[in-house]
Structure 1
Amino acid sequence: MSSRSVFRPGENCWRVEQADDFSIIVDADDYFGAIRRTMMAAERLIFLVGWDFDAGTTLGHPDVDDGAPRTVGDFIIWLTRQKPELEIKILLWSPALLASWMRLSNLPYLLRWKLHKRISVHLDGRHPLGSSHHQKMLVVDDRTAFCGGIDVTLDRWDTREHLDDNPSRHRPNGRPYGPWHDASSKFTGEAARSLGELCRMRWTRAGGEEIPLAAGLKPREDEHGQGFSFGRVCLAISRTEPAHLDEPRVVEIERLYVDMIMSARKLIYAESQYFASRAIAQALARRLTEPDGPEVILINPLASDNWLGAIAMDTARARLRESLRRHDPRDRFRIYHPVTASGQAIYVHSKLMIIDDEIVRVGSSNINNRSMRFDRECDVAFEARGDDALRRRIAGFRSVLLGEHLGVEAHEVENAMNIAGSAIGGVEALRKRTGLKSLRCYETPNVSDIEKWLADNEILDPEGPEELFEPIERRGLFRRRLRLPGRRGR
């Protein structure tokens, strides 16, 4: 890979800043524990920005016992009692009557927080019709930040074992839910301060007051090394922001996805809740047609967990997958679904991509049109840039992820790939083992005519606010066919 950076501030990222320590945290058991510890270390300011929120969520393991309240609603109030100088700012998406804050579990806390002098809540509905604020960010004292795909809400907690039956995996009413796979990131340094600035931009445009940046605070030593640590990196922060009122559209995330795909040499590995973006499919089609192009492994859930996703996203995935077959003469593209040892589907909610042993990104954006141009998103990414030790860490992290899905250790993944001479060959060899967690190959389902029409015309997955109002005959997954983009330098 070229030593030239893929990141271009102002085009495919907002800015690039140093993270003194960067980690990726896999699954909410570790994530909820990490943010709990970081919030307990806060001194002056906490920003919590989310798409979904439930005050009844246990922050940490369901059996956490550290002297503080378990549920996040009580935990936030407890923090302010322990720390008289601490202020907490909570910014939640507000989709009118569908809002998470209308739940009975949230309403009492909103009232208590409203009366609290150092807890402020804004419900942000400033976006185009049909759009959402999908970012999931937490910034503490402008020194430690989290950015990824995990909301502080129900049905997210799970361990990395993703057991068939975990007695701790249940809702507050005791009702169990299925295994859930997710990911987020944690970082310190100037990159964390930048994410604090982004939170402030969201806060003020939602009607909040101006808040000065915290100064003179350094991360505690025990703040480092949580999750899978990559050490010091230069971190790109990328956004999606829809055009709205006097605010221009920002498509940094889509551009970075495409640029990363076009830079790949051997392997594109991605985990996403959906596969429904025409722009991403076009970039993949271009690479799959090349004689020496990369392999592509995409980890998806078996099916969406909601009716909208089932109608729009699952059907679009089927249509795009079949279209890509025509551009994949060497059979280098696979979609897999993780399942438990007994065959139960593990829901994939993570949003990450790894290019070769060179680039890693994680964030809130899904591989669908909404995340590329219509919803508000935030991703972070870093490059190895010739650092062999960092390249080994990236390769090792990818093997850890595949090992989690396949029920084997990371070194077994690496050995299988080396023996097969390819990533897909290694996965195929390992997934045929019985009695273990595994990956199942995607099979294109039969879809009805109405489902095809909904997917092809992007009724439920628009690229932007203007598409909601353009004529049907000008919309759709295939209105420009799978146009192959020009290839950038590697």
Structure 2
Amino acid sequence: MPDAARPSPNCQSSHNAADPILVPGRTCWRMEKADRVAVIIDAAAYFARIKAAILNARHTVMLIGWDFDTRIKLEPDDPMPGVPNELGDFLSWIVRVRPELTINVLKWDLAILKMPFRGGTPLVLLDWISSRRLRFRLDSAHPPGACHHQKIAIIDDALAFCGGIDMTTDRWDTPDHRDGDPRRVRPNGEAYGPFHDVTTAVDGAAARALGELARERWHRATGEMLIPPPPVPAFWPDDLEPDFRDLPVAIARTDPMADHEGTQKTGKRGVREIEALYLAAIAAARDFIYLESQYFASQKIVGAIIDRLSEPDGPEVVVINPERTPAWVEEESMGSARSLLLQRLHETVANPRFRILAPVTEGGEGIYVHAKVLVVDDRLLRVGSSNINNRSQGLDTECDLAIECAPGERPEVCRSIRSVRTRLMAEHLGVSVEEVERTEEATGSLTATVDRLIRPAGRSLRPLEPQPLTETERRLVEERLLDPDRPEPMAATILRGATVFGDVNRTAWRIGAGVAAAAVVGVGLALLARRNGLGKKMQGE
């Protein structure tokens, strides 16, 4: 096991509590003021709010994502009258009725692999490719094996959304996460399971900064420099209550192809602000660390948590994860990594201050956790696209937002961070926010609160335990073959894979063949996309 997952003799817990966690150029790109910030829990609320926001757009809409599915219904239960409800129809309609509006959609190039299975989606996107005002591009400006994982939407540089929610299928759900909810259905009519996610809305200078980031991404992908939109009066969704007002918001990134100014620089090592933010926040924690993530697989971040749990007076740690990942490749990589790191944690610090739990519905079905949230001492809140895995720290592009309540300053910010956290905990535990708050007051402990409120049946949280691993699975994790933390030449990846799969067994061959096939198909489709003008801007457009 790499040293990053073992207790370190140089534990970073000496962080001075009076020192800020958010430092531009180190733990974030920059800090910009927002007049309003809201944390949006679950995609039902997000899809409705972004639809309303786009209806208010005057000049430009920028949509950047890991994936988009034009067939999804933005409001499956109560759509606005007279307004198309499917994403593709809605965007096509809004540019027709709003002739001064331009919409730019930028999607990770290898997500095109899903398009042949999406009915008429390829035809819709072909229309968008040739459109002058609703423009769709694929972004292949990333190292081999990387993906563009940022999820950002910007309207007129006046309002922006940034977090973990993609505008694609299998995302829409409400905080109720009802068993068999008939609204939770794919475009082809198939039902999908309950899904938990989180994003944010910001305005002011913070939204303008996200607009700059989005235009830089567009420039790298297409070669086209977009002009910032003219100023518009401030606007905000009518039914979205801000959680915070008038405060600086930090923007933190992972970007393997950018420098700290945000631009692409050949030969630069890349930007790892998110990793630095995680490590600084963990080091600064005094009372507790609350995490929601799709994975628990980053050797460096889990190693930092083990360091803190090794301290006799270190913080409590509560991690919310899904019970399992839906795809076998993810389970082989991320699921195996979680099991191995949990084994290491239990061997090192059999610690009563640590909990890792998965939410379930009233009927006992697992709720898939896709949210990426960090709360430290109700002092720091981070929401974004980055997972607790290796690739989110140095290989993929990620974008997170963070808010800090500086010690001794603006206690209402700390209260608002606590309010967000208790809302999330109440959702997972199936109790009211008031009950979470009362129990916390009574116990004075995050883990004791969770323990007291967990129910043996019904909507609640269930403890997760490490699963036994084969030697191949263990070596996959140790070599970071399916979850690297930095770019490397394809030849180096193949050589490391040959080392892992040198002993011929069925599981290894299955995984190796799957990875190789995906790589070959992905490279071929990316080359085809470039040849047909889906990436770089076509001449004369």
Q: TM-score, normalised by structure 1?
A: 0.92
Query: 1:185–1:362: 8 Å Cα contact kept in structure 2?
Result: yes
Corresponding residue for residue 324 of structure 1: 345
Partners of 2:231 and 2:149 in 1: CA distance? 31
Identity %: 42
1:282-335 CA-partner distances (Å, limit 9, x unpaired): 211111111211100000000011112110000000111111123435421111
Query: 1:122–1:208: 8 Å Cα contact kept in structure 2?
Result: no
Partners of 1:67 and 1:238 in 2: CA distance? 39
Change (3 A) 1:51 1:206: same
Query: 2:67–2:111: 8 Å Cα contact kept in structure 1?
Result: no
Corresponding residue for residue 266 of structure 1: 287
Partners of 2:413 and 2:239 in 1: CA distance? 15
Change (3 A) 1:50 1:101: farther
1:199-247 CA-partner distances (Å, limit 9, x unpaired): 0000011114222222321222x43662662222211101111248445
Corresponding residue for residue 36 of structure 1: 51
Query: 2:391–2:483: 8 Å Cα contact kept in structure 1?
Result: yes
| Residue 4 (structure 1) shift | 3.1
Corresponding residue for residue 247 of structure 2: 233
Partners of 1:4 and 1:245 in 2: CA distance? 34
- 1:223 equivalenced with 2:242 (yes/no): no
Partners of 1:88 and 1:365 in 2: CA distance? 25
Which amino acid is 1:420 matched to? T
- 1:148 equivalenced with 2:170 (yes/no): no
- 1:416 equivalenced with 2:439 (yes/no): yes
Corresponding residue for residue 395 of structure 1: 418
Corresponding residue for residue 482 of structure 1: none
Query: 2:26–2:276: 8 Å Cα contact kept in structure 1?
Result: yes
1:392-432 CA-partner distances (Å, limit 9, x unpaired): 11112111111000110011112222323311111111113
Change (3 A) 1:154 1:143: same
Change (3 A) 1:54 1:267: same
- 1:181 equivalenced with 2:196 (yes/no): yes
SS in 2 for 1:466: coil
Query: 1:228–1:397: 8 Å Cα contact kept in structure 2?
Result: no
RMSD: 2.1
- 1:53 equivalenced with 2:68 (yes/no): yes
SS in 1 for 2:291: strand
Query: 1:183–1:351: 8 Å Cα contact kept in structure 2?
Result: yes
1:21-52 CA-partner distances (Å, limit 9, x unpaired): 01110000000001000000000000000101
Question: Is there any run of 5+ residues in structure 1 with no aligned partner, and where?
Answer: 477-490
Which amino acid is 1:357 matched to? D
Q: How many residues align?
A: 474
Partners of 2:288 and 2:131 in 1: CA distance? 51
1:449-471 CA-partner distances (Å, limit 9, x unpaired): 22222122211001112286166
Partners of 2:415 and 2:114 in 1: CA distance? 43
| Residue 101 (structure 1) shift | 7.7
Corresponding residue for residue 256 of structure 2: 242
| Of 301, 306, 311, the match for 2:327 | 306
Q: TM-score, normalised by structure 2?
A: 0.84
| Of 406, 420, 434, the match for 2:429 | 406
Change (3 A) 1:23 1:53: same
| Residue 350 (structure 1) shift | 0.4
- 1:199 equivalenced with 2:221 (yes/no): no
SS in 1 for 2:488: helix
Partners of 2:291 and 2:120 in 1: CA distance? 35
Query: 1:47–1:138: 8 Å Cα contact kept in structure 2?
Result: yes
SS in 2 for 1:465: coil
- 1:123 equivalenced with 2:138 (yes/no): yes
| Residue 187 (structure 1) shift | 0.3
Which amino acid is 2:398 matched to? E
Corresponding residue for residue 458 of structure 1: 480
Query: 1:30–1:227: 8 Å Cα contact kept in structure 2?
Result: no
SS in 2 for 1:361: strand
Could you tell which deviates more after superposition, 462-471 or 358-367? 462-471
Partners of 1:467 and 1:287 in 2: CA distance? 35
Corresponding residue for residue 354 of structure 1: 375
Partners of 1:96 and 1:231 in 2: CA distance? 36
Corresponding residue for residue 25 of structure 2: 10
Corresponding residue for residue 444 of structure 1: 466
| Residue 438 (structure 1) shift | 0.3
Change (3 A) 1:166 1:414: same
SS in 2 for 1:235: strand
Change (3 A) 1:80 1:96: closer
Which amino acid is 1:134 matched to? H
Query: 1:19–1:235: 8 Å Cα contact kept in structure 2?
Result: yes
Which amino acid is 1:12 matched to? T
